[in-house]
Amino acid sequence: MTDRVISGRVLTFRRAPTGAGDAGSYDYFPDGAVLIGGGKVEAVGRAESLLPRAGGAPVDRYAGKLILPGFIDTHIHFPQTQVIASYGAQLLEWLEKYTFVEEQKYADRDHAARNAEFFLDELARCGTTTACCYGSVHAESVDSLFAAAERRGAGMIAGVAIMDRNGPPALLDVGRDSVAASRDLIRRWHGAGRQRYAVTPRFAITSSDAQLAACGALLREFPGLYMQTHLDENHDEIAAVRRLFPGDPSYGAVYARTGLLGPRALLGHCIHLDDSEIALLRDTQSVAVFCPTSNLFIGSGLFDYSRLAAHGVRIALATDVGGGTSYSMLQTAAEAYKAMQLRGQTLSALAAFDLMTRGNATVLGLEGEIGTLAAGSYADVVVLDACATPAMAHRMETVRDLEEELFVLMTLGDDRAVKQTYVKGRAVPRGLNPRRDPPPSTP
């Protein structure tokens, strides 16, 4: 039974666009409606044909606004909400100086729980309804995140960061077994409600060979798990992996040998892949995750989208907060466009919006659940306003078609362009994350 209707200009993708102007890749209803019942989409189409079927359910009207499936972020670090915007370092120094310090605080359950609420509020404010999240090494971090997500009805993918060397002692497996902790969390959370688990070795530098192999064994033990880690982000990182794993022909080969690659393997960055690693990713159907704001901010390099796509590597898009500089997938798409411009490549607005929604859902194998507004999907929805700021409204005066509007949205838009987010058919209250009083030491 329909319990809510959202009406406005409805846009949902059917398949990956072949380029700008590919009108067959999406469904667009200028006067459209989404019928929702029991948290799922019942029907999508023209308002005049659907509204009579709604049986008096309340209608949320968004005249002129765009209604899309909620955005999906395929790589983000939940314990880095107070690492984002840390100055002046490249990857390995940035980890030591900022990230490893901040992540130690997540041993405290109250800190983890408070930040889980902030994190999920912030994602919703930016229109993101599902994210693949790295936790800290502490079970408390992921447990708090899953519990908060489940209370909100939001589907998240997450896992505790696993590391046993080359980090501060407090984050390593000393008196703690993060593979065992992962197994525990998998039993409690993987497939519980909307939550799914990702085995999360941070990267090859911080895990021994035995630990990576234990992660591979965990993936074989429980079906349907994800695996998330980092690959080929930075030249010093790659050199360190070569020193630590002298028997392996490449960084990617370390993950292949320890059983970590596959269709549910999400590999952050993949900037400096050699030909053999590209072949490994293609043959195992692993996913290269493009994190443009992070790649630019940490100075890691330019993702070669066209080269990977030409070789048949599956590609996803992500923020990588806190190395990334924005929670907004719109801003992430804008930086993806710019990073690709520097390589002489392009990202059409259609391709970008498909990636943020259906495309990212598809690489996760979740296209039947999220990423489109097809009947039967969860009613995770974002409502966008391309006139949200004076500069956007002014630019919109000259916009002639949908694609141009989408390009304005991704180039100039951010959380301010998100009019409303719905999770499982419920509007997420706006105005969350009020500014807290600064601590007394703040100048």
Q: Which residues bind Zn ion (CB under 5 A)?
A: 268, 320
Query: Residue 21 or residue 168: which is nearer to Zn ion going by CB?
Result: 168
Query: Residue 159 or residue 268: which is nearer to Zn ion going by CB?
Result: 268
Q: Which residues pair with 268 in a beta bridge?
A: 230, 289
Structural tokens at position 80: 């880095």
Query: Residue 237 or residue 380: which is nearer to Zn ion going by CB?
Result: 237
| Nearest partner of 290 among 339, 354, 237, 234, judged by Cα | 339
Least distance in angstroms from the C-beta of 89 to Zn ion: 15
Per-residue DSSP letter, 104: G
Q: How far apart are the C-alpha atoms of 71 and 108, rounded to whole Å?
A: 30
Instruction: Kindly write down the DSSP assignment for every residue of 314-341, as one continuous string.
Output: EEEE---TTTSS-S-HHHHHHHHHHHHH
Other CB atoms within a 10 A radius of the CB of residue 240 amount to: 17
Least distance in angstroms from the C-beta of 408 to Zn ion: 29
| Nearest partner of 189 among 259, 141, 228, 137, judged by Cα | 141
Q: What is the CA radius of gyration of the chain?
A: 21
Q: Assess whether the previous peptide bond of 413 is cis (omega < 30° from 0).
A: no
Query: Residue 140 or residue 320: which is nearer to Zn ion going by CB?
Result: 320
Structural tokens at position 189: 């959370």
Query: Residue 37 or residue 268: which is nearer to Zn ion going by CB?
Result: 268
Least distance in angstroms from the C-beta of 203 to Zn ion: 9
Residue 3's Cβ-count burial label (10 Å; 0-12, 13-18, 19+) is middle
Cβ atoms of residues 154 and 120 within 8 Å:
yes
Least distance in angstroms from the C-beta of 322 to Zn ion: 8
Least distance in angstroms from the C-beta of 403 to Zn ion: 31
Question: Which amino acid is it at 258?
Answer: T
Query: Residue 29 or residue 78: which is nearer to Zn ion going by CB?
Result: 78
Q: How far apart are the C-alpha atoms of 376 and 82, rounded to whole Å?
A: 37
Query: Residue 237 or residue 405: which is nearer to Zn ion going by CB?
Result: 237
Phi, psi angles (nearest 5°) of residue 281: -65, -45
Within 13 Å of residue 67, how many CA atoms lie on the same side as its CB? 32
Query: Residue 34 or residue 315: which is nearer to Zn ion going by CB?
Result: 315
